[in-house]
Chains A and B, each alone.
Chain A
């Protein structure tokens, strides 16, 4: 079955770089049309799509955050990574990774990893 799971530092200080990992199974990111995205949700707020990488290695970014984001994947196509530079308190959120099988809706999500930015 399809599963995704995020991992991250839990807490980090302002101005640092946040590194997140999405480990998945049950599907292949090398399958044509497959995309894995990062989405975040501050407590009590809506969802914000951040970035994505597709089966062909093409990368996509939220224009409002593009300068701070880097998405990548491993060569075995079982993990996707996200780096966010210069974090501040506003980056405190639960970060999800999610799969898009052929179009840009999200059919499977990981359980999320909570990240707190605090000094």
Chain B
């Protein structure tokens, strides 16, 4: 079973800024990577699949990139509603979620 590593563990940004977080897989997963958003007390919500495809209803402010072992989630024009923990999940060969990146607004 592979290892999924997310960094940083937490981020703090001002409204309107751009936040970037990374996910690293211990071996290549091609483009088989998803990102989820989980707000406090809520169910995880699919944001991105296949590394860069936004799920239905997800604003264009959310974008994913990368392939192989290194992936990035970028959130532009940050809004207060973006406060959440973001998880990545490879889905080639293993299904281990990352430990999450907590996004806070200054």
Contact = CB atoms under 8 A, between A and B. Distances in A.
B34 A111 contact: no
B1 A63 contact: yes
B44 A47 contact: yes
A46 to B, nearest CB: 5
B87 A46 contact: yes
B9 to A, nearest CB: 11
Contacts of B95: 37, 49, 62, 104
B49 A110 contact: no
B55 A107 contact: yes
Interface size bucket, A side?
A: 10 to 19
Interface residues of B, number: 21
A64 B55 CA distance: 30
A46 B100 contact: yes
A24 interface: no
Contacts of A106: 34, 36, 44, 46, 89
A109 B39 CA distance: 14
A47 B91 contact: no
A71 to B, nearest CB: 14
Interface in A78-100: 96
A96 B43 contact: yes
A115 B100 CA distance: 22
Interface of A: 37, 46-49, 62-64, 96, 103-107, 109-112
Interface of B: 1, 32, 34, 36, 43-46, 49-50, 55, 87, 89, 91-92, 95-100
Nearest 8 pairs of A and B residues by beta carbon: A104-B91, A105-B34, A49-B95, A47-B97, A105-B49, A109-B43, A46-B99, A107-B46
